[in-house]
Amino acid sequence: MTTVQRTFRRSLAAAAALALSAVVAAVPATPARGDATDTFTVGSLGQVVTFNPFLAFKQGELDPISQLYPTLVWGNAQRLPEHYLADKWTTSADRRTWTFSLHPGLKWSDGKPITADDAAWTLNLVHTNATAGTANGQLLDNVASVKASGDSTVVITTKDPQVNLLDSVGQVPIVPRHVWESRVKTLGDQTNTKTPLVGYGPFTLKSYKTEQSTVLTANKDFFLGAPKYDTLVLQYFKNNDAAVSALRSGEIDQVDRITPTEYKALKSVDGVTSYPQVGARWTGIEINPGARTKSGKKMGTGHPALADAKVRKAIALGIDKQTLVKKVLDGLGQVGQGYLPPAFPAFSWKPPQVTPYDPAAANALLDSAGYTKGSDGVRKDPKSGRALTFRLGTHSDTTTDAQIAAYVVGWLKKIGIGVTIEPLSSTNLNDRLAKGDFDMFMDGWGTGPDPTYLLGIQTCRTLPDNAEGENGNTDAFFCDKRYDALYAQQLRTFDTTQRSAVVGQMQQILYDANVDLILFYQNNLSAVRTNAKNGFVTGKADGQGFYPYQNYTRSWRYAQPPSSSSDGGSSGSAIIWILVAVVVVVGIGAVVVLRRRAGAADRE
């Protein structure tokens, strides 16, 4: 089953920092690893501002939400759909009607029964209400109706046959109607962080402290099996260096998406196992092509010259992706080409004609388009008279952005384009992105086996309703009717080869538009304390040492404490997951609590 993650954005679409005040007094200290075999601590960059399942699409928010609210189906270790609320499902001969039979006897955390009406009401709200559809509405565009038949049967009818309906509904959290129906009018203002939070899943919300912590208590009666660790701490750091230091010292048990330098260094650390996965994410630069609302009204502060496809093409020609892979990734990745990463080859695509690194061609293109250089070497827009000096927003909490930006400044200077680097907090960056208040931003997304969500954020329907960015989930204000038609076509194409060809056409359109410049696919580099690896890392390494792509939110439930038997259940003590957003102030030694899109994630 696919989930998508926006990295570093409201990260993430909803991205962002996947930054905050003193935590020591407010949150129980993380126990020493040797004294706490029932505690699993994950280090990550992230932000949590909402547990509203209708709005959230950042990794740091989606992770706890996935533990607090159920879906009809969810992803197994291979991220393919398996039963959750629905024990089984059938489809009609014309593939337009899906009938889901719910597991009997399940109850919300307030004791009221979970019914088909809850599921039908939630899905209909996401499908028909613009605010409720902020995060996931595009997944249900092909839905004609959702109805409850009795207490335990949900019937979904689609306009056209849809190849990935299971994947789509598996990404939409189901909420209790009796709690949320009264909140619909103010849905956009609901952060849903107060207790008691009524939900159902492996955990319930014990407490949430703004910019400090979220405490989840395990549901020992979870019908699919309670977690084996008593306590899990998801601890957020300002940067990877701090997280890796914590892993070295034994303060945390696992860290994901580390830099190549950190990864190589950790390979020689006793008690730590480093493991790579083929990249399921891309890192790129998104360019504002002229932000507009759904109605076509101009918005934002983007430089007008970036609406010219020739300027965007010149920028693409002016960036040396191979050098970025070599210098920034230390060779641990691949040059970016298609919009979908290579981890899932069924939809991976390579352009027939690759845009090379060719500054001479970039200069010639800009010369022919009338962008002449001034005495300072910076070109001017012949229409507005403005210098071609563009803002490049970077995430202040990642060293990778800073490394890339330094190269980009030098490369674009060679073609007469100035770049002003703007390090921004993830919250600030994502707020500005939503309003079109940018020229260029560093960005990243991840995906799973089905690419629909990631493809969907490039459709016109994800543009915002107004200049404030409301009810929008656009990646970069891209809108192309040809692309939208192909998006609808791939949903109803059941033959994988044929569907892949349609998705390839979509990626060609994106590649030619140069709105998202895909720089590279970094190998997903992770490390875990060796004594905490059992049950957490799934699958076996291939001949090149790569592990299957991991489903971490699933792994949290299956990870086994060192003292656990292979078939044991949860321990007898209270099972609590504590998700703590922490910023470590490097050089000062102070620990400051903070509060991603994994994004989408970053959404994954």
Cβ atoms < 10 Å from Cβ of 1: 24
Report the distance separating Cα 343 and Cα 284, nearest Å. Answer: 17
Q: Provide the CATH number for the domain around residue 401.
A: 3.10.105.10
Q: Provide the CATH number for the domain around residue 109.
A: 3.90.76.10
Q: Is 432 within a domain?
A: yes
- Same domain for 248 and 99, yes or no, is no
- Same domain for 242 and 375, yes or no, is no
- Of 33-42, 115-124, 510-519, minimum mean pLDDT range: 33-42
Instruction: Output the pLDDT for position 296.
Output: 96
- Same domain for 471 and 496, yes or no, is yes
User: Which residues on adjacent β-strands are paired with residue 22?
Assistant: 592
Report the distance separating Cα 178 and Cα 383, nearest Å. Answer: 56
Report the distance separating Cα 597 and Cα 212, nearest Å. Answer: 18
- Same domain for 495 and 445, yes or no, is yes
- Residue of higher predicted confidence among 28 and 122: 122
Helical segments of 130-277, H only? 165-169, 177-180, 240-249, 260-266
- Same domain for 259 and 365, yes or no, is no
- Same domain for 433 and 336, yes or no, is yes
Q: Is 570 within a domain?
A: no
Residue 5 near residue 572 (C-beta atoms within 8 A):
no
Question: What's the one-letter identity of residue 17?
Answer: A
- Same domain for 421 and 515, yes or no, is yes
pLDDT digits (tens, 9 = 90+) for 231-271: 777 777 877 788 899 999 998 888 988 889 899 999 999 99
Q: Is 108 within a domain?
A: yes
Closest CA to 98 of 172, 149, 151: 149
- Taking 60 as the threshold, does the pLDDT of residue 10 lie above it? no
Residue 224 near residue 564 (C-beta atoms within 8 A):
no
Instruction: Output the pLDDT for position 603.
Output: 35
Single out the residue in 132, 167, 194 at which a domain terminates. Answer: 194
Q: Provide the CATH number for the domain around residue 536.
A: 3.40.190.10
pLDDT digits (tens, 9 = 90+) for 136-166: 998 999 999 999 999 999 999 999 999 999 9
- Same domain for 102 and 141, yes or no, is yes
Residue 89 near residue 101 (C-beta atoms within 8 A):
yes
> Can you say how many angstroms the Cα of residue 59 is from the centroid of all Cα atoms in its chain?
5
Single out the residue in 473, 501, 522 at which a domain terminates. Answer: 522
Q: Is 9 within a domain?
A: no
pLDDT digits (tens, 9 = 90+) for 359-404: 999 999 999 999 999 999 999 999 999 999 999 999 987 889 999 9
Residue 532's φ and ψ, nearest 5 degrees, are -110, 10
Structure-token pair, residue 159? 């306009």
Confidence of residue 46 (pLDDT cuts 50, 70, 90): low
Confidence of residue 211 (pLDDT cuts 50, 70, 90): low
**What residue numbers bound the domain in which 423 lies?**
282-522
Structure-token pair, residue 184? 């619909």
User: Which residues on adjacent β-strands are paired with residue 157?
Assistant: 97, 145
Give the chain's domain count.
Answer: 3
Instruction: Output the pLDDT for position 4.
Output: 44
Q: Is 490 within a domain?
A: yes
Per-residue DSSP letter, 93: T
- Tracing tokens 């996401």 back to the chain, one arrives at 126
- Same domain for 89 and 173, yes or no, is yes
- Same domain for 513 and 531, yes or no, is no
Mean pLDDT along residues 300-310: 98
pLDDT digits (tens, 9 = 90+) for 573-593: 333 333 433 333 333 233 222
- Same domain for 495 and 544, yes or no, is no
- Same domain for 461 and 538, yes or no, is no
Confidence of residue 38 (pLDDT cuts 50, 70, 90): confident
Q: Is 85 within a domain?
A: yes
Closest CA to 349 of 230, 107, 475, 512: 512
